[in-house]
Amino acid sequence: MTDIIYESKIDQVYPGLVKKLIRVLDLDSIWLQKFIRTEHMSGPTGGTSISVRSGALRASVVPIKSEVKDESVQAGVSIGGDIARGGGTPAGRYARVHVGGNRSTVITAKNKKFLTIPLPAAKTKAGLTKAPAPSDSVWGQTFVAKSKKGNLIIFGREKFVKGKRAGEFKTKIVPLFLLKESVSIPARVHPEEIVAAFSLKVMGDLQGIGVNILGG
What CA–CA distance (Å, rounded) separates 97 from 56?
Answer: 14
In a domain, 24, yes or no: yes
Q: pLDDT class for 135, splitting at 50, 70, 90?
A: low
Phi-psi region of 49 (alpha: psi -120 to 50; beta: other; left: phi over 0): beta
Phi-psi region of 150 (alpha: psi -120 to 50; beta: other; left: phi over 0): left
Question: Do 65 and 121 fall within a single domain?
Answer: no
Residue 83 predicted with pLDDT over 50: no
Looking at residue 86, its pLDDT comes to: 42
In a domain, 215, yes or no: no
Question: Do 96 and 134 fall within a single domain?
Answer: no
pLDDT tens sequence across 36-64: 999 999 988 898 999 988 888 999 999 99
- DSSP result, the chain: -EEEEEEEEGGGB-TT-HHHHHHHHHHHHHHHHHHHHHHTSSS--SSS----SSSHHHHT-EEEEEEEETTEEEEEEEES--HHHHT--HHHHHHHHHBSSS-EEEEE--SSS-EEEEPGGGB-TTS-BSSSSTTSGGG-SEEEEE-TTS-EEEEE--B--SSTTTTSB-S-SEEEEEEESEEEEE--B-HHHHHHHHHHHHHHHHHHTT-PBTT-
Q: pLDDT class for 209, splitting at 50, 70, 90?
A: confident
Q: pLDDT class for 26, splitting at 50, 70, 90?
A: very high
Question: Do 170 and 88 fall within a single domain?
Answer: no
Looking at residue 119, its pLDDT comes to: 92
Mean pLDDT in residue range 154-166: 81
Question: Do 174 and 200 fall within a single domain?
Answer: no
Question: Do 173 and 94 fall within a single domain?
Answer: no
In a domain, 27, yes or no: yes
In a domain, 73, yes or no: yes
Mean pLDDT in residue range 155-173: 79
pTM of structure:
0.78
Question: Do 89 and 6 fall within a single domain?
Answer: yes
Which phi and psi (to 5°) does residue 198 adopt? -65, -40
In a domain, 214, yes or no: no
What CA–CA distance (Å, rounded) separates 120 from 197?
Answer: 35
The boundaries of the domain holding residue 78 are: 2-103+187-208
Question: Do 95 and 168 fall within a single domain?
Answer: no
Phi-psi region of 209 (alpha: psi -120 to 50; beta: other; left: phi over 0): alpha
In a domain, 130, yes or no: yes
Q: Which of 32-36, 71-75, 87-91, 114-118 has the highest mean pLDDT?
A: 32-36
Question: Do 23 and 94 fall within a single domain?
Answer: yes
Residue 163 predicted with pLDDT over 70: yes
Total structural domains in the chain?
2
Question: Do 17 and 85 fall within a single domain?
Answer: yes
In a domain, 16, yes or no: yes
In a domain, 213, yes or no: no
Question: Do 7 and 88 fall within a single domain?
Answer: yes
Question: Do 24 and 98 fall within a single domain?
Answer: yes
Averaged confidence pLDDT in the chain: 84
% residues pLDDT > 70 (the chain): 87
Mean pLDDT in residue range 81-93: 60
Looking at residue 114, its pLDDT comes to: 94
Looking at residue 140, its pLDDT comes to: 74
Question: Do 79 and 153 fall within a single domain?
Answer: no
Looking at residue 8, its pLDDT comes to: 81
